[in-house]
């Protein structure tokens, strides 16, 4: 029997070698044929053949172990496939469940995405600051500096190890853990540290309680949902409204349009994908997005990008057309098929224009007209669901210092009616884009009108922010009053009030890995501890900053802070950009730490998107839904990375 197994292993090994040799030879022939088609000489053809032949094992391996499983995973994401059961095609159902947060696992995925974005929004900036701080400390020529560099980098080697992560679990123990014991001894010894320590505990617990209130329910924040876009409007429109108008401000307005526009398109697309049936308005929105991208690329004279966008958009529309006809049994007049077909045709028509001749000023005018038409269609289709039934009155109430809450003593109204029968926040985000677009169009041609318009927009967002915040206080107080009148506990934002209403008493210790308030900060602290990789990148960048720049700044009387922001940061901006991109990707793929330090009490509060898809795919064997979760995560990571590269003009590379 043993000899039989050995023979089988030998046959498999020989077969593998033969397969690699044959596929490499075929890949070489294909490369030679392609080079021949392009009219190259016999010598170039031989070079292409031998180059592809030696690269053949890697190329075939890529298609077998990377491209192949990727395409299979994409197919599985549209199916109901559980290991051991037949594969059933269900279309977009997996994506609908996950994006809408429906059911048990849809809710878990939504919570996992909230946790992943927490790690990215909180963990990455803290890790960047820690890495840069350590690099600046080590960028000194003092005795024993190499030893300190080794010590600072050592956590990178140890951080991913299970033994070290298990050690962190013991150190984070609430009673007797090294971290809490050390903090408490410092607090007992130094009264100032005790005050700072308790203040940090208060801030962390309050912010995480607020985060939990936002994450666990569909719309728990009432009028506060309008405060966020209003504050964003103040933050973005304020720099445009005040001070002298420059070309840089127009560029900033265009960046606002691009960034917010891309985010809104992504949100709308995900909502359209989750809708059942899909609203035709999203087809018009997709056409508007594609045309807008083509116009922006034409402005930058990126003609190849225009053609790529055009082809991808038309392929997507063609696939949608086939799916629509298939759903209607290839009867264009059946059911709702006509309105979907009309939407696809209208969205496709402007995309066909650049196929006819070169891009000219007249082409730009036609495409802008198409943008206007598609925008009007979308606006008209959205109005019946957003601005009728008195919804628009909410804006006028906030502009005139009135409350938008009509029934403050009715719990059903506060929980069910107000969150879902008021105007969508999308209109406020869209208004920021509109203000930036009008400011960019007015530019220096109409300076007085531009200034008045931006001042009015700033006042508008200020009033919305102030009064929506005041209305939020009324909203929360109404819940408390109703709970007190009924003699029942108030569960609305209860975790936030539990910590925000009372300053921590003396000898208070964090419950690191035993509750949902401190579990994510625990993981962020471990991430900060292992910031040595980023530190190494920053240290190399700091070594490359010319000393002459600091000497010139000292001659001009620059302070240390000025030298840091005017010299150090711009000169190390490529390293900073690299660490941000890698940090965001790593945070959204957080897995090992969640897998090892997570407990039954903190599983849901620590669960990341990567850990969710691992559970659904490899533990619960739900291959279809796990594949859908992985593709959603891929789209988010690629989108965020592309945006970071698109808006990286602040990075200064040496000529």
For tokens 């008045």, the residue is: 452
pLDDT beyond 70 at 385: no
- pLDDT more than 90, % of the chain: 5
pLDDT the model gives residue 491: 62
What is the average pLDDT across 76-86? 85
Q: What tokens does 635 get?
A: 């789209």
Closest-CA residue to 122 (of 37, 230, 207): 207
To the nearest 10 degrees (0 to 180), the angle between helices 281-299 and 247-274 is: 150
Quote the DSSP letter at residue 89: E
Quote the DSSP letter at residue 277: S
Are the C-beta atoms of 80 and 88 separated by less than 8 Å?
A: yes
Instruction: Give the model's confidence band at 125: pLDDT under 50 very low, under 70 low, under 90 confident, else very high.
Output: very high
**DSSP per residue, 550-608:** HHHHHHTT--HHHHIIIIIHHHTHHHHHHHHHHHHHHHHT--HHHHHH--TTTHHHH--
Other beta carbons less than 10 A from residue 442's beta carbon: 20
pLDDT the model gives residue 458: 92
| Phi, psi (deg, nearest 5) at residue 172 | -85, 10
What is the average pLDDT across 563-572? 87
Q: What tokens does 90 get?
A: 């269900």
Reported as a single tens digit per residue, the pLDDT across 449-488 is: 888 899 999 999 999 999 988 888 888 888 778 877 777 6
Per the document, the length of the chain is 655
Phi-psi category of residue 84: left, alpha or beta, with phi > 0 → left and psi -120 to 50 → alpha: left
Mean pLDDT of the chain: 82
Instruction: Give the model's confidence band at 489: pLDDT under 50 very low, under 70 low, under 90 confident, else very high.
Output: low
Reported as a single tens digit per residue, the pLDDT across 395-435 is: 888 888 888 888 887 777 777 777 777 787 888 888 888 88
With residue 487 as reference, give the H or E element that holds it: none
Reported as a single tens digit per residue, the pLDDT across 111-124 is: 888 888 888 888 89
The whole-angstrom separation of Cα 504 and Cα 506 is 7
Instruction: Looking at mean pLDDT, say which of 367-376, 453-462, 466-475, 491-500 comes out highest.
Output: 453-462
For 178, 229, 506, 508, 642, the CA distances from 195, given in Å and listed in that order, are 20, 34, 9, 11, 43
For 468, 569, 644, the CA distances from 650, given in Å and listed in that order, are 34, 10, 11
For 121, 137, 234, 465, the CA distances from 454, given in Å and listed in that order, are 30, 44, 11, 16
Q: What tokens does 404 get?
A: 């938008």
Superfamily of domain 93-192+514-646: MetI-like (1.10.3720.10)
The whole-angstrom separation of Cα 620 and Cα 614 is 9
What is the average pLDDT across 483-504? 71
Quote the DSSP letter at residue 143: T
The whole-angstrom separation of Cα 632 and Cα 175 is 40
The whole-angstrom separation of Cα 289 and Cα 295 is 10
Quote the DSSP letter at residue 243: S
Q: Which of 121-130, 344-353, 461-470, 495-504 shows the lowest mean pLDDT across its residues?
A: 495-504
For 230, 454, 655, the CA distances from 459, given in Å and listed in that order, are 10, 9, 43
- pLDDT more than 70, % of the chain: 93
For tokens 């989108």, the residue is: 639
Break the chain into its structural domains and give their ranges.
2-68, 93-192+514-646, 258-387
pLDDT beyond 70 at 490: no
The whole-angstrom separation of Cα 63 and Cα 51 is 18
Q: Which carries the bigger pLDDT value, residue 230 or residue 408?
A: 230
pLDDT the model gives residue 90: 82
pLDDT the model gives residue 1: 59
Q: What is the separation of C-alpha 190 from the centre of its chain, rounded to a whole number of angstroms?
A: 41
pLDDT the model gives residue 459: 92
Q: What tokens does 97 get?
A: 């469940």
pLDDT the model gives residue 654: 66
Q: Which carries the bigger pLDDT value, residue 623 or residue 422?
A: 623
Cis bond leading into 277, ω under 30°? yes
pLDDT the model gives residue 461: 92
pLDDT the model gives residue 276: 66
**DSSP per residue, 30-69:** HHHHHHHHTT--HHHHHHHHHHHHHHHHHHHHHIIIIIHH
Q: Is the Cα torsion angle 45, 51, 57, 61 positive or negative in sign?
A: negative
Closest-CA residue to 463 (of 402, 410, 540, 524): 402
pTM comes to: 0.80
pLDDT the model gives residue 420: 72
Residue 615: strand, helix, or coil: helix
pLDDT beyond 60 at 384: no
Query: Per DSSP, what are the bridge partners of residue 5?
Result: none
The whole-angstrom separation of Cα 233 and Cα 465 is 9
Quote the DSSP letter at residue 354: G
For tokens 């903190």, the residue is: 602
For 262, 315, 349, 356, 357, the CA distances from 310, given in Å and listed in that order, are 17, 9, 11, 13, 14
pLDDT beyond 70 at 527: yes
To 10 degrees, the CA torsion angle through 327, 330, 335, 336? Answer: 70
pLDDT the model gives residue 128: 92
To 10 degrees, the CA torsion angle through 337, 263, 223, 119? Answer: 120
pLDDT beyond 70 at 382: no
Reported as a single tens digit per residue, the pLDDT across 186-220 is: 888 887 888 888 888 888 888 888 787 776 655 56
| Phi, psi (deg, nearest 5) at residue 82 | -115, 135
Half-sphere exposure of 459 (CA within 13 A, CB side): 8
pLDDT beyond 60 at 388: no
pLDDT the model gives residue 319: 83
Phi-psi category of residue 329: left, alpha or beta, with phi > 0 → left and psi -120 to 50 → alpha: left
């Amino acid at each position: 029997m043993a000899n039989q197994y050995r023979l089988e292993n030998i046959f498999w090994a020989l077969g593998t070698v033969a397969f690699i040799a044959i596929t490499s030879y075929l890949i070489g022939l294909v490369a030679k044929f392609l080079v021949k088609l392009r009219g190259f000489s016999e010598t170039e053809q031989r070079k292409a053949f031998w180059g592809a032949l030696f690269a053949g094992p890697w190329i075939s391996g890529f298609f077998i172990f990377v491209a192949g499983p990727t395409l299979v995973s994409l197919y599985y994401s549209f199916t109901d496939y559980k290991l051991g059961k037949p594969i059933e095609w269900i279309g977009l159902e997996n994506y609908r469940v996950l994006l809408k947060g429906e059911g048990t696992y849809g809710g878990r995925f939504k919570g996992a995405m909230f946790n992943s974005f927490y790690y990215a929004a909180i963990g990455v900036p803290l890790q960047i600051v820690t890495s840069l701080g350590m690099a600046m400390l080590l960028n000194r020529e003092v005795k024993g500096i190499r030893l300190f560099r080794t010590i600072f980098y050592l956590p990178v080697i140890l951080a991913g190890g299970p033994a070290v992560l298990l050690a962190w679990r013991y150190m984070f123990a609430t009673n007797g853990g090294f971290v809490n014991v050390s903090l408490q001894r410092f607090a007992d010894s130094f009264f100032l540290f005790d005050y700072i320590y308790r203040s940090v505990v208060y801030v962390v617990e309050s912010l995480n309680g607020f985060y939990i209130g936002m994450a666990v329910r569909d719309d728990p924040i009432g009028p506060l949902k309008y405060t966020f876009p209003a504050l964003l409007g103040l933050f973005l429109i304020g720099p445009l409204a005040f001070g002298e108008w420059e070309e840089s401000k127009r560029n900033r307005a265009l960046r606002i349009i691009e960034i917010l526009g891309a985010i809104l398109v992504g949100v709308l697309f995900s909502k359209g994908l989750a809708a059942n049936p899909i609203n035709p308005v999203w087809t018009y929105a997709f056409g508007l997005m594609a045309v807008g991208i083509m116009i922006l690329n034409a402005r930058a004279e990126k003609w190849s990008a225009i053609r790529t966008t055009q082809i991808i958009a038309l392929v997507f529309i063609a696939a949608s057309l086939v799916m629509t006809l298939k759903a209607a049994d290839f009867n264009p007049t059946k059911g709702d098929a006509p309105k979907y077909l009309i939407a696809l045709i209208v969205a496709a028509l402007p995309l066909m224009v650049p196929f006819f001749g070169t891009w000219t000023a007249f082409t730009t005018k036609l495409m802008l007209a198409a943008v206007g038409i598609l925008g009007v269609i979308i606006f008209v289709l959205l109005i019946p669901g957003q601005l009728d039934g008195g919804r628009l009155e909410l804006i006028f109430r906030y502009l005139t210092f009135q409350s938008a809450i009509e029934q403050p003593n009715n719990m059903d109204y506060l929980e069910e009616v107000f969150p879902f029968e008021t105007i969508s926040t999308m209109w406020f985000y869209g208004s920021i884009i509109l203000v930036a677009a009008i400011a960019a169009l007015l530019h220096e041609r109409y300076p007085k009108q531009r200034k008045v318009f931006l001042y009015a927009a700033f006042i508008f967002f200020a009033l919305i922010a102030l009064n929506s915040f005041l209305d939020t206080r009324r909203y929360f107080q109404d819940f408390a009053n109703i709970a007190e009148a009924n003699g029942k506990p108030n569960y609305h934002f209860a975790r936030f009030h539990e910590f925000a209403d009372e300053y921590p008493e003396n000898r208070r210790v964090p419950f690191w890995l035993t509750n949902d308030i401190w579990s994510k900060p625990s993981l962020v602290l471990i991430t900060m501890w292992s910031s040595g990789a980023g530190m190494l990148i920053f240290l190399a960048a700091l070594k490359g900053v010319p000393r002459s720049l600091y000497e010139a700044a000292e001659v001009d009387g620059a302070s240390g802070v000025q030298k840091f922001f005017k010299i150090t940061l711009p000169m190390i901006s490529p390293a900073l950009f690299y660490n941000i991109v890698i940090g965001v990707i790593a945070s959204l793929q957080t897995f090992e730490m969640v897998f090892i330090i997570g407990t039954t009490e903190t599983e849901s509060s620590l669960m990341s998107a990567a850990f969710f898809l691992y559970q659904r795919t490899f533990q619960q064997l739900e291959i279809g839904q796990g594949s859908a979760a992985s593709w959603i995560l891929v789209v988010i990571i690629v989108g965020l990375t592309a945006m970071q590269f698109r808006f990286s003009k602040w990075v200064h590379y040496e000529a």
